[in-house]
Amino acid sequence: MSPDDTKKRIVNEIKARAYDDKYIDRNEEREIVRIAIELGVTVESALAALGQVCDEFSYVLESRILKQIEDQLATAAANDGKIDQQEFDLIFGNVKRAAQGKKTDRELKKMVVQVMESTGNNKVRTGWFSDWYSSLKKDLGV
């Protein structure tokens, strides 16, 4: 298979997965990379092509959103090691803009909470009489 045919096949695989919702989740990303590897493309090249196609067609790439959440949580926790509700809301707002309406507010908040838990950035600053984070997790079912 020629390099042009390989590139066209990868682009078509990406378009096929993002056709209905303009969103590439982690499972779809994994499938695309697997197909690219089977075609003899390196993982780095496959990921670069995926990012390029997503940029070109305004597709949302879930792995980018997760990376953005992780980076912003680390920045927010850098001062005192804790996330307050205002910082959470700011991160959520940024992620909501990045998701371009492809995910609901509930799904995005759940993603932020899951990244907080998985990265250990789940220490939060609470108020005197309320624990916003516990309430949020309960509401989200996490």
| CA separation for the pair 29, 26 (Å, rounded) | 5
Question: Quick one: which of 61, 77, 62, 73 has its CA closest to 112?
Answer: 73
pLDDT in tens, 82-126: 899 999 999 999 999 999 999 999 999 999 999 999 988 778 887
DSSP for residue 60: E
Burial of 49 (0-12, 13-18, 19+ CB in 10 A): buried
pLDDT of amino acid 26: 92
Question: Quick one: which of 130, 85, 131 has its CA closest to 112?
Answer: 85
pTM of the model: 0.85
- Whether the predicted pLDDT of 127 surpasses 80: no
pLDDT of amino acid 110: 96
